[in-house]
Amino acid sequence: MTKARVLLLCGGQSGEHEVSIASARSVLKAAGEQFSVSPVVISKSGKLLSLEDSQKALGQGSTENLSSSGTLQTLSNDAYDVVFPLLHGPNGEDGSIQGMLKLMGLKFVGSDILGSAVGMDKLMMKSVFAAHDLPQIPYKRVLRSEWLSSPEKVLASLEVLTFPLFVKPANLGSSVGISKARNEKELVEALNLAAQLDRRIIVEQGLEHPRELEVGVLGNDFPELSPVGEISFASDFYDYETKYTEGRADLVIPASIDASIAKECQELALKAFAAIDGAGLARVDFFFDEPSGKLYLNEINTMPGFTTTSMYPKLWEAAGVSYGELIVKLVNLALEAR
Ligand SMILES: Nc1ncnc2c1ncn2[C@@H]1O[C@H](COP(=O)(O)OP(=O)(O)O)[C@@H](O)[C@H]1O
Ligand SMILES: [Mg+2]
């Protein structure tokens, strides 16, 4: 049997450019035997690198000093059986790349346009979850235009929520532009920051140091669920620095929680995945407020971090699925007719 030809797209224009390249290196190493893998790197400015420069970028871990451009032709021919868009954040995980691949008639790992777009946009995601009666923390939507034109009115509309508040751009991910506001002064600063980054903003009721639980989903219409993992860290919240600085956060798998809470996480993860029409893989994140015993759905990530030490592969490893086996399953799920 000939090996399936996999186009591995990585890099990209989001704050997770480097993580994506690191993930792709791991995938290339683990899947090089099973599949014929061609990595193609997208630079931070959105340029597609040539196959040759992509190899170099993977070797050095960045696109520094590399600029020979590939063309869309690199993608659009019959050279690949499946694409693994290992890209995070805007223009990677939000349905745009998925739309392009679909137009080109290519099969790909992960959610389709709709699931990717709904999973990426925090406001749309929350509306869809609400329509499915999934438990979420109260929040309000603020438009940049409203904030700039009538800040007093916006602040008044937020008085139904109590401090601390979390302010988030609707479409960024990796904690970029997210602030915890403890008073009105911080709220104003937080809204100013978020408004620089996005047209639409979420202001959410904050929990004080909730436990952060995560579940892996793997499959299409009848997905499997991983054990529950927990992220533990010392900082005030899981901000960009804590996420991407080596040694700042620990993964605990399985999370040390009651079996009933673990079961609830898995049930909710399944519902969240179906609600957005997820496919292939997703990591579903929760807040567990220990004092009240309440569990809240926080978000779904349709292309979670995928280095060998990332939560998603680690969750499956705990379930007996090795990193290499996980990639094989994902490629097969992408090839499966949906
Ligand atoms: N309502 C909240 N209460 C407490 N902490 C929160 C809340 N919202 C976000 N956080 C903290 O901010 C982090 C990032 O927020 P999240 O909504 O997951 O955005 P991202 O998509 O960037 O990961 C969370 O992991 C958590 O540490
Ligand atoms: Mg998150």
User: Mutation test of ligand 1: which of 287, 294, 296, 302 has the most ligand atoms closer than 8 Å to its C-beta?
Assistant: 287
The active-site residue out of 200, 230, 283, 312 is: 283
Please, which pLDDT band fits residue 33 given cuts at 50, 70 and 90?
confident
Q: Kindly identify the ligand whose nearest atom is closest to the C-alpha of 206.
A: 1
pTM above threshold 0.75 = yes
Number of C-beta neighbours around residue 252 at 10 A = 14
Contact between 32 and 3 (Cβ < 8 Å) = no
The hierarchical CATH code for the domain 5-108 is: 3.40.50.20
Active-site residue 305, yes or no?
yes
Angstrom distance (rounded) from CA 129 to CA 120: 13
Alpha carbon nearest to ligand 1 atom 21, residue: 173
Active-site residue 59, yes or no?
no
pLDDT value at position 292?
96
Tens digit of each residue's pLDDT (9 = 90 or more) over 174-186: 778 999 999 999 9
Please, which pLDDT band fits residue 239 given cuts at 50, 70 and 90?
confident
Residue 258 token pair: 């009651």
With a cut of 80, say whether residue 67 has pLDDT above it.
no
Percent of all residues in the chain with a pLDDT value above 90, rounded to a whole number: 78
Q: Kindly identify the ligand whose nearest atom is closest to the C-alpha of 178.
A: 1
Residue 264 token pair: 């609830």
C-alpha angle 22/302/276, rounded to 5°? 175
Active-site residue 299, yes or no?
yes
Bridge partners (DSSP) of residue 311 are none
Active-site residue 283, yes or no?
yes
The hierarchical CATH code for the domain 119-135+208-335 is: 3.30.470.20
- CATH among 3.40.50.740, 3.40.50.720, 3.50.50.60, 3.30.1490.20 for 139-205: 3.30.1490.20
Contacts of residue 13, Cβ cutoff 8 Å, sequence gap at least 6: 42, 44, 45, 46, 89, 90, 91, 92
Helix (H, G, I), strand (E, B) or coil at 328: helix
Alpha carbon nearest to ligand 1 atom 7, residue: 206
> What is the Å distance from ligand 2's center to 286 Cα?
9
Tens digit of each residue's pLDDT (9 = 90 or more) over 111-161: 999 999 999 999 999 999 999 999 999 999 999 999 999 999 999 999 999
- Cis omega (within 30 of 0) for bond into 164: yes
Active-site residue 278, yes or no?
no
Residues of the chain with CATH 3.40.50.20: 5-108
CA 134 to chain centre: 19
Q: State the closest ligand 1 atom to the C-alpha of 137, by its place in the atom list counted from 1.
A: 1
10 Å CB burial of residue 65 (0-12, 13-18, 19+) is: exposed
The active-site residue out of 299, 310, 312, 323 is: 299
pLDDT value at position 174?
75
Residues of the chain with CATH 3.30.1490.20: 139-205
Angstrom distance (rounded) from CA 168 to CA 263: 29
Residues of the chain with CATH 3.30.470.20: 119-135+208-335
Packing angle between helix 323-335 and helix 311-318, nearest 10 degrees?
100
Residues with CB under 6 A from ligand 1: 137, 166, 168, 173-175, 178, 204-207, 210, 212, 237-238, 285, 287, 298-299
Q: Which residue, among 266, 301, 278, 294, has the nearest Cα to 205 in the 3D structure?
A: 294
Span of 126-140, 148-162, 229-243, 270-284 with lowest mean pLDDT: 229-243
Tens digit of each residue's pLDDT (9 = 90 or more) over 161-176: 999 999 999 988 777 8
Mean model confidence pLDDT for the chain:
93
Backbone phi and psi for residue 38, each to the nearest 5 degrees, phi listed first: -115, 110
Contacts of residue 38, Cβ cutoff 8 Å, sequence gap at least 6: 5, 6, 7, 8, 51, 79, 80
Contact between 46 and 334 (Cβ < 8 Å) = no
Active-site residue 16, yes or no?
yes
